[in-house]
Structure 1
Amino acid sequence: MSKVKKFIAILYQILESKEYFNYVSWTNNGTSFMIHRIDDFKKIIIKECFNSISIESFYRQMCLYGFRLKKKKGLKEYSHPNFIQGKLKELGLVQRKRKNYATCDDMIKVSNTLKEQIQRLKEQQYSFLYQLKVQYEIHKILSNKIKQLLDQFQNQYPEFWKQQMRIILKLIRGCKPLYGVQTSAPLYEILKDEMLQQEDFYSPKQLSFQ
């Protein structure tokens, strides 16, 4: 039988020791073990027992030795058909799978890359939503200001109302951005009634806001 690897021997000793029971322990049937407190496991067990290797290196070793991972709400449960509580003779069968080294390492790199990409996409999404909200508020303020000016103009110069405001209506109707429909709709309703019936009325080309 093959000699028990140092990494596997240390891991087994940790699980058999009561000193680290609060951080990592066998499950009830002894066919797997569970890491309870990952942060403490990383700070205490990894530092004291595994010569301060990184937690990523520990995960990679588990993968290389053929352990199966099962996550449970922030916990990590590992199992191996030959890594069982009380069966010391079978520990020598837990060997590194050299053929899967590159595959395992590549999977971790791909996973990290995907996490970084997802984080960047989230940041871009937040930035886009913030900018959209700002534009919406600006459009709302402008619409209200224009409405106030139009009301004032209509009261002070009613004889020029239809003639002078026609160009404003053209711009509002032709260039109204899609996301600002709700804020500009009241202003559009104020102006459209009679001027839309004019024969010389035209609308400029719609601008794309998509």
Structure 2
Amino acid sequence: MMLGSAAECDGSGDGKRVLEYVRKASVAPFLVKTYKLVEDPATDEVVSWSGDGTGFVVWRPAEFARDLLPTLFKHGNFSSFVRQLNTYGFRKVTTSRWEFRNDMFRKGERDLLCNIRRKKSSSSNRCAMHAPNAIDWSKPNLN
């Protein structure tokens, strides 16, 4: 049984700890799909691992967006892809090319993906999103 296996791996039979293990063991589809694109040798001219395998480089962003993104994602928008990378803690390595790095996204170490978590948006951002008619408190009320 799957939960039994998770409990054995976790070293506890405690239900709460099993659920925490399962949550940590699951990997976001975005990360799995991105890893699949990067590790595929057929796409190396467009996207590949960096020289040391600690990140990846999108060599041809236009082709990446047009030809590769739509095959695994529901869009072909490079900016949206980069924004998504940022929410998972990826950082652009250099300004001279589209190279991204996350300490848990490494060549040959797919098992580390379960350690990458999506960042929560800040409460101020959530408030702003849900308050389309926000009051501008910097201006006096002239009723």
Give the Cα–Cα distance (whole angstroms) in 2 for the partners of residues 100 and 71 of structure 1: 26
Of the structure 1 ranges 42-51 and 28-37, higher mean CA displacement relative to structure 2 is found in 42-51
Q: Is contact 1:25–1:33 with CA below 8 Å preserved after alignment?
A: yes
1:81 equivalenced with 2:103 (yes/no)? yes
Q: In 2 relative to 1, CA 51–79 (structure 1 residues): closer, same or farther, beyond 3 Å?
A: same
In structure 2, the partner of 1:130 is none
Separation in 2 of the partners of 1:67 and 1:9? Answer: 14
Q: Choose which of 67, 92, 109 in structure 2 pairs with 1:69.
A: 92
1:1-210 correspondence runs (5 A): 1-73=24-96, 75-100=97-122, 102=125
Gaps of 5+ in 2: 1-23, 130-143
The separation in 1 between residues aligned to 2:122 and 2:113, in whole angstroms, is 20
Question: In the aligned structure 1, how far is the partner of 2:47 from the partner of 2:95?
Answer: 14
User: Is the 1:64–1:100 Cα contact (8 Å) retained in structure 2?
Assistant: no
Aligned equivalents of 2:101, 2:122: Cα separation in 1: 18
Structure possessing the higher radius of gyration over alpha carbons = 1
Q: Which of structure 1's runs of 4+ aligned residues deviate more than 6 A? A: none
Alpha-carbon distance, 1:64 to partner: 0.3
Identity of aligned residues (%): 26
Q: Measure the CA separation in 1 of the matches of 2:122 and 2:46.
A: 29
Q: Which amino acid aligns with 1:86?
A: G
Cα deviation code 1:127-177 (max 9, x no counterpart): xxxxxxxxxxxxxxxxxxxxxxxxxxxxxxxxxxxxxxxxxxxxxxxxxxx
Superposition TM-score, scaled by structure 2 size: 0.65
Deviates further, 27-36 or 43-52:
43-52
> Which one has the bigger helix percentage?
1
Structure 1 residue runs of 5 or longer lacking an equivalent are 107-210
For 1:44, what is the secondary structure of its paired residue?
helix
Sort the Cα spacing of 1:87 and 1:52 in 2 relative to 1 into closer, same or farther, 3 A: same
Compared with structure 1, are the counterparts of its residues 44 and 96 closer, same or farther at alpha carbon in structure 2 (3 Å cutoff)? same
Give the superposition deviation at 1:100: 5.0
Query: Is the Cα contact below 8 Å between 2:66 and 2:76 reproduced in 1?
Result: no
Q: Distance in 2 between matches of 1:25 and 1:52?
A: 20
- Higher relative CO (Cα under 8 Å, sequence separation at least 6) belongs to 2
Q: 1:84–1:20: structure 2 CA closer, same or farther, 3 Å change rule?
A: same
